[in-house]
Structure formats: structure tokens, C-alpha cells
Amino acid sequence: MTDLQMGLIGLGGIAVAGVLAYNKWQEHKHRKLAEQLLDVRQADVLLDEKGSASGAAESRTGSSTGDGGDSPAAASGRTARAVPERVEPLLRHAGDAPGMAADSDDALPEGSADGSLPGGERRARIAAAPLCLLSPAIDYIAAIELSEPIAAYQIRDAQRVVLARLGKPLHWIGFNDASHTWEPLAEDGDGAYQHIRVGLQLVDRKGPLRDADLSVFHVAIQDLATELMGAVELPLREPALQVAAQLDEFCAGVDIQIGLNVVSQGQVFAGTKLRSLAESAGLVLDAEGRFVRCDEEGRLLYALLNQEAPGFTAESIRTLTTHAITFLLDVPRVANGDRVLGQMVEQARRFAESLHGQLVDDNRRPVSESSIEPIRRQVVQYQLAMAHRQLPAGGPLAQRLFS
């Protein structure tokens, strides 16, 4: 064996030994990091002296609404209600959960303390993510703690392909150390965050969260934390799936829409006339081909739809004609539904009068005040049930659930 061969063998041995040593050092570094992030928290005089250092959030099962009198029975599944049908003026079924895990003031990684706030107060603010952004009532929430702040776009890019396979919406928030508040994580944001919460929505109008999606989320979030050199805390899976099923059952019982139809009595309705009436009533044409009435904050109150075509457009409305239009109210997504119903009924009557049409239900029966009053009472009943469940109609949580 030549000196050159012996030298190459020696260099190879040194390289292998170096790789093994580096891997051992990385393993030791990650173990130390995990111990820092998941270590048992120390007592905090601001939080613990009140005896509140235990446990997950208390379960809230809520109460279901009573039977709706003459209203239709609840649909067997909410998936069938994903695309609303045209309806008569009656209630239509489109179709608090126990807390997943109570965020706590876990011990922070070394070097992450902020001198502008006392440690206990800062931990309390980190724990108190606002419910309008994420809520254990409707989200399965993963708590991620990173060893150092990382840009939002890097956090959102990690595991993007895997998380895109999920059948339910994801919501990301991070703790802003400058303002000491939680805020949404923008996909292209360059702000850096160390404390992250990721919520997988338990229910939407397609139904409850599936076990397969929850499994994918579990693995992806654990891989994300490892990739970003952090640690993650995840709630138990089985209770989350039970909560999703119970929440979906409740939502199916209150997921209703109310429709009022204006039909012609021989003559057709001209698109230009419809546009004139809609604009004078404060309705505007949206990207979905509807005329919509919104409140002062831009939230949808009710919509005007064309029964005989896919929708209204600025180009086609000049030559469009139709024999029927529908006013539609999505009850769970509107606050003060009884009042909005009254406004929609009045507007539909004005259209019927101006168009020389008739206000009817889907069976072509004329709509009278006596037929509207029972519906108004049931709208109140359903919205009270949502408020009792701490999911007020028209609120941010209801907007997410009924989407």
C-alpha cells in the first residue's frame, strides 16, 4: 500500500469521526433546547397565588335549540348545504366546546425575556391569545415555542406542502414582542416571532374535522417545530374529535337561510331596472354575481340573487332579463337577524311593487305578514342559542364556522 493510499484512508477516518462528533453535538444541543422549552414552569406570584395553575379549560357542552315548530327538520349532514338552494320564506337548515388546551405561562427559553415587562406579566400576555383570533371552542390549537425569533414567511413556508392537504382552514398567530400583543402571521411577513399558535378549525359547512386531517396536522406541526429548532405542545386528539362532532351537530341545527322570491306575473324583469332598484336601495354588485346589502363595517346583511342565470355581471346586466329573483339572508352570519329580516322583507316588497311582480315562497304561495312572524321568532330563538353557546351570530367565530 502506497503512502498516498494510507494518507487517503487516514483522511477518510478523520472525516467520519468529524461527522459523528458533529451529529453528537447537534443531538446534545437539541436535547438541551427541548429541556429548556418544555421544562416545568416555575411559580409566578402574579398568576399562581390565585390557585389557577392547574388544568385544561373547563368543558362547555352548551344547549341545543328547541324544535322549530313548522320549520323543516335539520338536514342529515352539513355538506349537502354547502351550496344553498333557492328557498321559500321559511327556515332552512344548511347543514362551547370543551377547551382543547389552556395555554399556560410556560418557562421561556433563556435570553427571551423582555425587560420592558415584568416576567410574570409578559408570560400572562403570551398565554392570553385573543379569542377573536383563535379559540379553543372552535380550533385545535398547537403552541410552538422557538429557540429564537424567526420571520413569519419562514414559519409559514415550513411544511407548507403537507399542511396544504388539510381539509379545514388553518389560522396562524404570533406574539409581537414590541407591542406585547398577538397578531396574525402574514404569509409574506418579515416580522420575527418566537411564540406561535396554529389553530386547525374543528368545523365548517363541509362538516367536522376528520381523524386523517388531524393526524396530518400532528405530524406536520411536530416536523415544523423540529425544522425551526423549537418545541410544540399539542392537545389530546380523541377529545378534539369528539368536540368537533358535537360542535358540528350544534351548527347543523342553527345553520339556516331565509329566502324571499319575487316572481313576474307575465312580464320579464329587465336587468337595467333591477340594477336601478338595487342601487337606489343601497345594494352593490359583488364579485360573486350578487347584489349585496352590507352594514357600515362592510359585513354582509343579505343578498339579491338571479334565479335564472349564474349571476349578475356589470357587462351582462344591460341585456339581461329574468322571471324571478331571490332575497337571501344567511342567519348565523348576521347579527340581529330578526331586525335584518324585517329590512329584507320590506325591501323585497318594494321590489315586487316596482316590478309589478309578486312576493311568494317556493310553492308560489303569497307571503304575508302572518307567515313572516313565526319565522322572525325562530330566528331570534336560534340566535339566542348561538349566543348561549358563546358563538354569537355574525361574530368572528360564527363567520369562520359558517363558511
Query: What integer pLDDT is reported at residue 71 of this predicted model?
Result: 36
Q: Encode pLDDT of 85-129 as tens digits.
A: 433 444 444 543 333 333 434 433 444 444 456 767 777 777 777
pTM above 0.85, yes or no: no
Beta strands in 10-162 (DSSP E): 92-93, 139-151
Specify the 3-state DSSP secondary structure of 45: coil
Q: Is the dihedral of CA 191, 192, 197, 201 positive or negative?
A: positive
Give one DSSP letter per residue of 290-325, joined into a string: -EEEE-TTS-EEEEEEESSSS---TTGGGT-EESEE
398, 385 in Cβ contact below 8 A?
no
Q: Encode pLDDT of 227-271 as tens digits.
A: 999 999 999 999 999 999 999 999 999 999 999 999 999 889 999
Find all residues with CB under 8 Å of 255, minimum gap 6, and list them. Answer: 78, 81, 93, 94, 95, 205, 332, 402
User: What band does 27 get if pLDDT is binned at 50, 70 and 90?
Assistant: low
Domain regions of the chain by residue span: 48-61+97-245, 255-401
Query: What integer pLDDT is reported at residue 204 of this predicted model?
Result: 97
Query: What integer pLDDT is reported at residue 32 of this predicted model?
Result: 59
Residue 201 is given by DSSP the state E
Q: Encode pLDDT of 358-389 as tens digits.
A: 999 878 899 999 999 999 999 999 999 999 99
348, 260 in Cβ contact below 8 A?
yes
Query: What integer pLDDT is reported at residue 116 of this predicted model?
Result: 57
Query: What integer pLDDT is reported at residue 257 of this predicted model?
Result: 95
Query: What integer pLDDT is reported at residue 22 of this predicted model?
Result: 60
Q: Encode pLDDT of 51-65 as tens digits.
A: 433 333 333 333 333
User: What band does 33 get if pLDDT is binned at 50, 70 and 90?
Assistant: low
Phi, psi for residue 38 in degrees, rounded to 5: -110, 10
The count of C-alpha atoms lying within 13 angstroms of the C-alpha of 320, restricted to the half-sphere facing its C-beta, is 23
User: What band does 15 get if pLDDT is binned at 50, 70 and 90?
Assistant: low
CA distance 366 to 123: 61
User: What band does 131 get if pLDDT is binned at 50, 70 and 90?
Assistant: confident
Burial state string for 313-343 with b = 16 or more CB within 10 A and e = fewer than 16: eeeebeebebbbbbbbbbbbbbbbbbebbee
Specify the 3-state DSSP secondary structure of 44: coil
Is CATH 3.30.1400.10 what the domain over 255-401 is classified as, yes or no? yes
Mean pLDDT of the region 142-160: 96
